[in-house]
Amino acid sequence: MKPSERQFGNVLLPLSTESFTYEIATPMQPPRIGDWVQVPLRKSVATGVYTGKAKEVSPEIQSLARPVEACQSADELPFLPESLLRLIDWTASYYICPEGAVLKYAIPSGVWKGLFKVPRRSRLTETGPLPSDKPEGRFQLSAEQERALQRISSETGGVFLLKGVTGSGKTEVYLRAVESLPEGLGTIVLVPEIVLTTQMVRRFQERFGEKVVIYHSGLSEGQRTRAWNEVRQGRARVAIGVRSAIFLPFEKLGMVIVDEEHSATYKQAEGLRYNARDLSVVRGKLQGATIILGSATPSLESYENARSGKYQELVLSQRVKEKPMPLVKVVDMKAAAKASPSVSEELREAVSETLTADGQVLLLITRRGFAHVVMCGDCGQVAKCPLCSVSLTHHKKVQRLRCHHCGSELMVPVSCSHCGGTRLLFQGEGTERAEEEVRELFPGLAPLRMDYDTTRRRNSFAEMIASMETGETSMLVGTQMVAKGHDFPGVHLAAVVSGDVLLGLPDFRAAERAFQLFSQLSGRAGRGEVPGRVLIQTHDPEHFIFEYVARHDYDGFASRELDLRRSLGYPPYSRIIRFVVKGKVLKNFEKTLETVDRVCRNFRPPGVELLGPAPCPLSRLRGYHRWHLLLRGKSSSRVHAAARGLAEKLRALPALALDIDVDPVHML
């Protein structure tokens, strides 16, 4: 065969690389786009995805190209829909990473292993809990819910921001919007955390039964693989999961719902640093699907998109059955009488009144553990993580000091390693301390503690939810988990034990996150027949967010915060790409930083501001010394072009570990 008659195709492998070029040798049937293929790779055989004919293959590549060894049968359903390949391509380009890395993340490892086995039909009980014995049933929609549903159902495609106060019935709008889709169209429902799937799954299973699958990393490899295959084979109508579910292979996608769209957990923190909320909008455009972003406290980026007309805003301003929003009070801990180190007398009295009235209580503390600082009372030395620039947290129940960033764990010392002193001080509130103080203040009360430490056991979170729903438990003490997505009609009182930690973080989003968390917690109270109360304990009651939280005034807060962002040039009025350079050996890292600094001084792209390099707020993490720099500008295309140019220069430096974070959510 003449060289010009030879056929070549691109194959994407689940590796941190771009696609490879292989020869499609006769008499092989040419693969379709999206088919799996087997190809030689070094001295072994690998399985990848065919992405199309290679164009303008150089003579050098032609001489090196090896032939595809096997491909999928033409009578089988393509391995991946072409629309998903387009999403993978867009993700790789936008987040400045190899396409293969996206493919590796998007498809569970069990799928690759099971490609040459006949997938068995999965049962719902293998991927999630069974439907409730007490279905909630349908109810009459409010006028606002009806208007929102009509707007969503009357349009094909488009992005809707469903801004509804807590308890306004956003989930019912989701359910009926999915019911209104034509037969054969699938739906992806994203929730911010694995532990929050329980109630959402139950509601959808009540409506759609075995056509609902669950997909997240908390499932076994086999369960994820079977759920993935249910979607690929077209047997699933609804898939509920966390951020990775945005890559599920729905060939015909009608809707993507992003619940609590403001949540920072939709942003992947390591590796492929994508934002599932933003990818849902992209996927909707690629497949003509309707996108619903739901929240009582939307991200300021989504809110600004709605104000500018890029998204359509739908408002649910009233709770279901016109129940009142809870009364919010801020407690000044500088002047308040204390019932215990963490609990004010006012909070103690409010808890007592609530329990006497057979109500339930939620207590939120932003940190887990017993004390987040262990200090020597003689010399002031603080116990720090050996791998991170943070203090270790005391976990009293297991008598360990733990780092919540890298997982390092030490025994609790009996004396100071610096001066030998034995007067150790355990300072700062955590969920363990709060639980202990509550037990001392209310003898006989058995509060449940909900945090990372208590919810790692299988089904533990679901058991706590069930205990609150049945009224078996009167108090839930926990981290941000207690504030998100729950519907407990018996909760009369919700309280923040310490409202200052989030506000003190060195991050331009600190006020936004604090407002969202406190507002979300407030929304847990008063969902039943008894009006709710909220107490927020703080040492900084004059901070401006509290007046808006107390009034349940999201629009007022957003307007003020956006004015500040505009004046400072922060998102959503600019685009930011963050580079983090890392090194383990300090001496070598310091030499590398000199080179990085020299590269940055000579790098001046038009229309883009370069800030740094400078030490990260967490200057050491998991054994790596860390510096960062920011590219900032009003034009996304210019910032991306500059980032690609800078990445090329920095990646050429020897022994440099580099992370690139497009649209960073955390700046630590």
Question: At 529, phi and psi to the nearest 5?
Answer: -85, -20
102's tokens: 């996206």
What pLDDT, on a 0 to 100 scale, did the predictor assign at position 116? 62
Task: Give mean pLDDT, residues 596-605.
Answer: 92
pLDDT classification of 80: cutoffs 50, 70, 90: very high
Which candidate, 371, 350, 357, places its Cα nearest to that of 496?
Answer: 350
Task: Give the DSSP H/E element, type plus range, for residue 40.
Answer: strand 36-41
What pLDDT, on a 0 to 100 scale, did the predictor assign at position 120? 52
Identify the three-state secondary structure at position 616: strand
- CA 368 remoteness from chain centre: 19
What pLDDT, on a 0 to 100 scale, did the predictor assign at position 294? 97
pLDDT classification of 1: cutoffs 50, 70, 90: very low
Task: Give mean pLDDT, residues 139-165.
Answer: 93
Does the structure show a pLDDT above 80 at 518? Answer: yes
Dist. CA 642–CA 656, nearest whole Å: 19
275's tokens: 């934002």
Three-class secondary structure assignment of 329-376: EEEECCCCCECCCCCEHHHHHHHHHHHHCCCEEEEECCCCCCECEEEE
What pLDDT, on a 0 to 100 scale, did the predictor assign at position 133? 44
pLDDT classification of 10: cutoffs 50, 70, 90: very high
Does the structure show a pLDDT above 70 at 201? Answer: yes
Dist. CA 159–CA 162, nearest whole Å: 10
Judged on CB neighbours under 10 Å (0-12, 13-18, 19+), 659 is middle
How does 178-201 read in b/e, with b if 16+ C-beta sit within 10 Å?
beebeeebbbbbbbbbbbbbbbbb
Does the structure show a pLDDT above 70 at 119? Answer: no
Task: Give mean pLDDT, residues 521-533.
Answer: 91
Task: Give mean pLDDT, residues 221-227.
Answer: 92
Dist. CA 554–CA 560, nearest whole Å: 10
Which candidate, 275, 271, 274, places its Cα nearest to that of 262?
Answer: 275
Dist. CA 433–CA 438, nearest whole Å: 9
pLDDT classification of 137: cutoffs 50, 70, 90: low
- For the stretch 368-398, pLDDT in tens is 888 888 999 989 899 999 999 999 999 988 8
How does 154-175 read in b/e, with b if 16+ C-beta sit within 10 Å?
eeeebbbbbbbbbbbbbbbbbb
Which candidate, 412, 449, 430, places its Cα nearest to that of 369?
Answer: 430
Tokens 């943070």 label which residue? 390
Q: pTM (2 decimals)?
A: 0.92
Tell me the one-letter amino acid at 88: I
Beta carbons of 552 and 522 less than 8 angstroms apart? yes
Does the structure show a pLDDT above 80 at 543? Answer: yes
Does the structure show a pLDDT above 80 at 129? Answer: no
- For the stretch 291-301, pLDDT in tens is 999 999 999 99
Dist. CA 214–CA 538, nearest whole Å: 39
Q: Euclidean distance between the first and final Cα of the chain, in Å?
A: 58
Q: Which domains does the chain have, with CATH numbers?
A: 3-113 (3.40.1440.60), 124-320 (3.40.50.300), 323-371+428-564 (3.40.50.300), 575-662 (3.30.70.600)
What pLDDT, on a 0 to 100 scale, did the predictor assign at position 312? 97
Does the structure show a pLDDT above 50 at 161? Answer: yes
Task: Give mean pLDDT, residues 302-328.
Answer: 94
What pLDDT, on a 0 to 100 scale, did the predictor assign at position 130? 40
Query: Which stretch of 126-130, 438-442, 490-494 has the lowest confidence by average pLDDT?
Result: 126-130
Which candidate, 596, 661, 664, places its Cα nearest to that of 625?
Answer: 596
Task: Give mean pLDDT, residues 95-122.
Answer: 82
pLDDT classification of 588: cutoffs 50, 70, 90: confident
- For the stretch 243-272, pLDDT in tens is 999 999 999 999 999 999 999 999 998 889
Dist. CA 547–CA 544, nearest whole Å: 6
Tell me the one-letter amino acid at 620: R
Q: Which residue spans within 574-608 are E strands per DSSP?
A: 575-583
Beta carbons of 326 and 492 less than 8 angstroms apart? no
611: β partners:
630
Task: Give mean pLDDT, residues 150-154.
Answer: 94
More confident residue, 312 or 118: 312
What pLDDT, on a 0 to 100 scale, did the predictor assign at position 115? 73
Task: Give mean pLDDT, residues 520-543.
Answer: 92
Whole-number Cα distances in Å, 71 to 34, 41, 79, 580: 11, 15, 11, 40
Dist. CA 112–CA 126, nearest whole Å: 20
CB neighbourhood size of 542 (10 A) = 9
Does the structure show a pLDDT above 70 at 531? Answer: yes
Q: What mean pLDDT value characterizes the chain?
A: 90
Query: Which stretch of 35-39, 456-460, 494-498 has the lowest confidence by average pLDDT?
Result: 456-460
Identify the three-state secondary structure at position 472: coil
* Axis-axis angle for helices 170-179, 197-208 (nearest 10): 40
Radius of gyration of the chain from Cα atoms? 27
How does 611-646 read in b/e, with b if 16+ C-beta sit within 10 Å?
ebbeebebbbbbebbbbbbbbbbeeeebbbbbbeeb
Beta carbons of 144 and 168 less than 8 angstroms apart? yes
What pLDDT, on a 0 to 100 scale, did the predictor assign at position 388? 92
pLDDT classification of 352: cutoffs 50, 70, 90: very high
Task: Give mean pLDDT, residues 155-167.
Answer: 93
Identify the three-state secondary structure at position 394: strand
Dist. CA 84–CA 95, nearest whole Å: 16
